[in-house]
Amino acid sequence: MSDQRDIEAFLFEEASLLDENRFADWLALFTETGWYWVPSQAGQESPVDNVSIIYDDRRLLETRVRRLCGETMHAGLPLPRTSRLIGNVAVTGAADGIVTVRSKFTMAEYRLERRRDFAGTLFHGLQSTGGGFQIAWKKVDLVDCEAAMEGITVPF
């Protein structure tokens, strides 16, 4: 089993990369088959059977990051400033070389003189590597996932 402090440090580093708009470095945290999912319904069990807020396989993640790092995303510029807090980190299982981790998060986003707040539960499937971890998958359960939302620019 992986060390709790190492897992927490990894999650905190991921949050820092996102807050610093270092999206290419964030993408590098994912495995080559990694995926990222934000369900649109509480308790949603599959990203395929229902519409999701976001469901990106590795190829779509690469496209998302290219857009975030480029200057062609006019509707999303300027990028928001964000601040994330991660807490209540718990290892909930391990199988086939993947450690499953659940944590809570809040994210404040400020853009164009407007602030939005997001909160929810993060689930990570972390694959152990020689020097740390990579994200095999990430699921973000937003507290208000069924609410009407304006466009989400940056990942959670």
Task: Give the per-residue pLDDT at 150.
Answer: 86
102-156 pLDDT, tens per residue?
999 999 999 999 999 999 999 999 999 988 999 999 999 999 999 998 888 889 9
Task: Give the per-residue pLDDT at 13.
Answer: 98
User: Is pLDDT at 75 greater than 70 in this prediction?
Assistant: no
Confidence of residue 78 (pLDDT cuts 50, 70, 90): confident
Would you state the structure tokens that stand for residue 42, as one six-digit string? 């509480």
Would you state the structure tokens that stand for residue 151, as one six-digit string? 């466009």
User: Is pLDDT at 57 greater than 90 in this prediction?
Assistant: yes
Would you state the structure tokens that stand for residue 18, as one six-digit string? 């996102």
Delineate the domains of the chain, giving CATH numbers in brackets. Answer: 4-142 (3.10.450.50)
Let me know how many helices (H) and strands (E) the chain has, helices first. 3, 6
Mean pLDDT throughout 85-111? 96
Question: Measured between alpha carbons, how far is 138 from 46 in angstroms, rounded to an integer?
Answer: 13
- 3-state SS assignment for residue 30: strand
- Residue (of 120, 121, 125) closest to 93 by Cα position: 125
User: Is pLDDT at 2 greater than 80 in this prediction?
Assistant: no
Question: Measured between alpha carbons, how far is 1 from 146 in angstroms, rounded to an integer?
Answer: 35
